[in-house]
C-alpha cells in the first residue's frame, strides 16, 4: 500500500516523458502552468513522510530530475562574465501587435534596450494583417538594417548579408556580418498548439490534432537548417511551447539555452497579466558563449516579457 502512490506517480512521469511531443492528444495535458509539474514531487514527499516510508524517498529522488526539467526550474546564475570586445546584445520579443496608438512609446522602449540585434514577432495589426511599412522604425534606428518578412521583423546594427523566410513562413533566417564573422540569426514564431475556436469536444480534439500536425514541419525545418549551419547560430522567438511539451527537447539538446544565465529560478515569459505563468519564448545559441540573460518587463505593450541576452563570439 505504501508504494502504490509512489509507483503510480512515477509511472505517470515516465508516461509523460514518452508521450509529450510525440502524440498529439498529449498536448491537452502539456500546455499547463509550469508550477503544476512540481505537484508530483510534493505529493511524493508528503506521502512518504506521512507513512514514514524511508524506501519511498528513492521515488522522491527519481522524481527530482523530472520536476526540475518539466517545471522549467533552474538554479539562478550568480556570476555573469564581463562583456568582451566581441560581445553583442540581442533583444527578443513577441510584440503582440502594432498600430495601437502607442508606437512612439513602444519604439522608444525598444531603443532603450540598446541592443545590437532585435528579433521581433507579430509585426502586424490587431486583426493579424502583416505590416510592411518600416519607415518609423528606420527613423528611430538610423544606420540599422531592417528586415521584415510577413510578421517577423529583425533589426540589426551590423550589416545584413542575406535573409530568407522558411517554407513554413514561421522562421526568418538572417545572416549578419558581426565583427567580420557571419552569424546566422533565426527569428521564430511557431504555431500555437491550441486556440479557443471550437464548439464541441470533437472540434476541440480535431483542432488539437491539426495544430500538432502543423507544428511538426516548423520544428523540423528549424532543427535541420540550424543544426547543419556551419556558422555561429542565434535562435530566438515565440515557440508557443513549454519544456513540458517535449517539442523543445531536440533543440535544447543541440543548442545552449541562454536562460541558464538568468537570475530567475523559473524564467517565465508569457501570461495575461504582469505575472507570467509559462515560458514559451527561448533564446538558443551555438558557436557563441552566453554572458547574460535578462528578462525585460514589456507588459505595457505585450503579453510577453522580452529577453535581453548578451553573447560573445
Q: How far is CA 46 from CA 3, 38, 50, in A?
A: 13, 13, 6
* CATH code for the domain defined by 87-312: 3.60.10.10
* CATH 3.60.10.10, the chain: domain bounds: 87-312
Mean pLDDT by 10 residues, the chain (313 residues): 78 88 84 77 84 83 86 76 80 93 94 98 94 96 97 98 96 97 98 80 87 96 98 98 92 96 88 83 97 94 96 94
Residue 21 grid coordinates: 511531443
Helix (H) or strand (E) holding 119: strand 117-121
Contact 190, 241 (CB under 8 A): yes
pLDDT recorded at residue 50: 83
pTM score of the predicted model:
0.93
Contact 284, 252 (CB under 8 A): yes
Beta bridge partners of 96: none
CA nearest to 127, candidates 159, 99, 89: 99
Amino acid at each position: 500500500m505504501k508504494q502504490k502512490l509512489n509507483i503510480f506517480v512515477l509511472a505517470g512521469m515516465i508516461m509523460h516523458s514518452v508521450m509529450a511531443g510525440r502524440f498529439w492528444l498529449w498536448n491537452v495535458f502539456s500546455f499547463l502552468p509550469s508550477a503544476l509539474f512540481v505537484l508530483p514531487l510534493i505529493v511524493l514527499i508528503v506521502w512518504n513522510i506521512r507513512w514514514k516510508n524511508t524506501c519511498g524517498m528513492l521515488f522522491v529522488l527519481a522524481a527530482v530530475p523530472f520536476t526540475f526539467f518539466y517545471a522549467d526550474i533552474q538554479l539562478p546564475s550568480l556570476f555573469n562574465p564581463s562583456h568582451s570586445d566581441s560581445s553583442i546584445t540581442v533583444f527578443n520579443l513577441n510584440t503582440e501587435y502594432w498600430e495601437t496608438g502607442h508606437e512612439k512609446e513602444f519604439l522608444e522602449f525598444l531603443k532603450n534596450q540598446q541592443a545590437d540585434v532585435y528579433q521581433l514577432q507579430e509585426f502586424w495589426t490587431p486583426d493579424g494583417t502583416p505590416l510592411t511599412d518600416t519607415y518609423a522604425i528606420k527613423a528611430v534606428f538610423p544606420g540599422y538594417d531592417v528586415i521584415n518578412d510577413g510578421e517577423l521583423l529583425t533589426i540589426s546594427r551590423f550589416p545584413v548579408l542575406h535573409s530568407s523566410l522558411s517554407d513554413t513562413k514561421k522562421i526568418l533566417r538572417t545572416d549578419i556580418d558581426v565583427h567580420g564573422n557571419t552569424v546566422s540569426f533565426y527569428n521564430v514564431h511557431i504555431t500555437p498548439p491550441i486556440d479557443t475556436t471550437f464548439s464541441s469536444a470533437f472540434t476541440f480534439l480535431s483542432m488539437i490534432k491539426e495544430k500538432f500536425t502543423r507544428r511538426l514541419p516548423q520544428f523540423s525545418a528549424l532543427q535541420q537548417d540550424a543544426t547543419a549551419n556551419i556558422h555561429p547560430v542565434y535562435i530566438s522567438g515565440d515557440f508557443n511551447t513549454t519544456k513540458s511539451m517535449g517539442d523543445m527537447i531536440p533543440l535544447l539538446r543541440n543548442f545552449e539555452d541562454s536562460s541558464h544565465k538568468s537570475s530567475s529560478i523559473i524564467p517565465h515569459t508569457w501570461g495575461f497579466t504582469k505575472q507570467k505563468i509559462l515560458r514559451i519564448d527561448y533564446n538558443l545559441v551555438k558557436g557563441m558563449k552566453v554572458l547574460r540573460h535578462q528578462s525585460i518587463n514589456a507588459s505595457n505593450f505585450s503579453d510577453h516579457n522580452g529577453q535581453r541576452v548578451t553573447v560573445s563570439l
